[in-house]
Structure 1
Amino acid sequence: MKFFQNQIKLKPFSRGFYLITNEVLEAIPELKQINIGQLQVFIKHTSASLTINENADYTVREDFESHFNKFVPENAPYYKHNFEGSDDMPAHIKASLIGASIQIPITNGKLNLGIWQGIYLCEHRDYGGSRQLVITAFGI
């Protein structure tokens, strides 16, 4: 079995949902050496997350942002963790709901995603800064 791992630092994004499939692929060219395996992408932060969803229509990403802002509002009177601003605690909740990692099958040196699927960075802070990802590919 082969194992490859790289860590990348993404450019800073403002709050929203962003396709980062190409950045992930560029960071792990060794993927081409795996016929059958898995790719894991892990984000090293507690106020941003990763998911897989629609890669063609940008309005899906806009709707995700709108929904999550209603689902997990800012300035809830019961939040105690607000030292870093009104987006801080909601960002932690959103990150936990969506998750810190994704796994994708690798088939014949390529990600085996559906035709309309892409990898999203879900930035839950207004100014979250650059985010670090650990990308691990393994298989035969």
Structure 2
Amino acid sequence: MWHQEEIHLSERPRGFHLITHELVGALPWLAECERGLLHLQLLHTSASLTLNENSDPDVRHDLDAFLRELVPEGLPYFRHTLEGSDDMPAHVMASLMGTQLSLAVRSGRLALGTWQGIWLGEHREQGGERRILATLSGQD
């Protein structure tokens, strides 16, 4: 079986956002898959996807704080500044974190660990709506 869907996420503030339930809710055909792989590709260059802690929101806060210190705005050697002071740091963060995930599917559900969830990393102050291309391959 093959399915593909483009998922539209509403605009979110800068930071990390748990989006697991929103993604699963947009993929009803996931329940038909006995075993397979779900590939998620974020169609943007200034945001990211990652798999991490799904329970304590402090983890999302702390990772955002770490990245802001690691890649601050206003570094004197950044030349790409036409789109705002947060744009080039956002590109660096997206490259560091990644924009794709491949997740196992088992018995119609994502095979996630107990404390794992899918995060959207919004690295711009106003990044706008984000799109994710979800592709499932597997057996029903």
TM-score with structure 1 setting the length: 0.98
Deviation above 2 Å: which 4+ runs of structure 1? Answer: none
Q: How does 1:1-140 map to 2 (within 5 A)?
A: 2-140=1-139
- Ranges in structure 1 where 5+ consecutive residues have no aligned partner: none
Question: C-alpha deviations, 1:58-106, integer Å up to 9, x for none?
Answer: 0000001100001111100000001111101000000011111101100
SS at match of 1:126: coil
Alpha-carbon distance in 2 for matches of 1:130, 1:22 = 17
Shift of 1:16: 0.2
TM-score with structure 2 setting the length: 0.98
2:81 partner amino acid: N
- Contact (CA 8 Å) 1:73, 1:90: kept in 2 or not? yes
Question: C-alpha deviations, 1:19-44, integer Å up to 9, x for none?
Answer: 00011101111011111101111100
- Contact (CA 8 Å) 1:16, 1:61: kept in 2 or not? yes
Shift of 1:4: 0.8
SS at match of 1:51: strand
Aligned residues: 139
Shift of 1:138: 1.2
The percent of aligned pairs where both chains have the same amino acid is: 47
